[in-house]
Amino acid sequence: MKDKDKDGVADDRDACPTETGPAITAGCPDKDGDGIADKDDQCPNEAGLLSNHGCPAHDTDKDGIADDQDKCPTVAGVARYNGCPVPDTDKDGVNDEEDKCPKVYGVVRYNGCPVPDKDGDGVNDEEDKCPTVVWAYRKTVVVRLLKEIVEKVTFAARRIQFQEGKQALLRCITKSAR
């Protein structure tokens, strides 16, 4: 068995019988050690992929996923989402994997959920002075109290009499003075 270049590959199977190379490249040189013979390697000084003609895979976003396998080649992502970032459906800054309310805009301190509003009155519990009383009810009570105050002041004001053209109190009619 003849082996002119003494690379361990017999000349009858050696694609490069005058140059030393490993058996994996049929006895042809492979400077970058990627298993692609330099004569067939478009990037002989950089280890690459056979599918990329011996050149390294392009990874534009530097996320470790080659562009040809990356569904989002210009945005860094993760392998389980084919190179895309973990989704944030409601765009609240909490990714869907950690978001307890992934379809409703929320805040980080509530794991992606909105600030609670236990009584459903539209005022969040952090700002609500009465977080268990519905605002509509409170509004009705406040309006009723204001009406009572206005009625009492109006009634009292009608009973106060001033001397014409002066600030002196003429008299105040009380219930007993009727």
Q: What pLDDT is stored for residue 105 in this prediction?
A: 95
CA distance linking residue 50 with residue 44, whole number of Å = 12
Going from N- to C-terminal start, the domains of the chain cover 1-54, 59-85, 88-115, 135-177
CB 114 within 8 A of CB 123: no
CA distance linking residue 82 with residue 99, whole number of Å = 20
Neighbours of 130 (CB within 10 A): 13
Q: What pLDDT is stored for residue 39 in this prediction?
A: 94
- What is the value of pTM for the model shown? 0.43
Mean pLDDT by 10 residues, the chain (178 residues): 89 92 92 94 91 88 91 95 95 95 94 90 84 70 82 84 74 57
**DSSP helix, strand, coil percent of the chain (3-state; round to 5):** 25, 5, 70
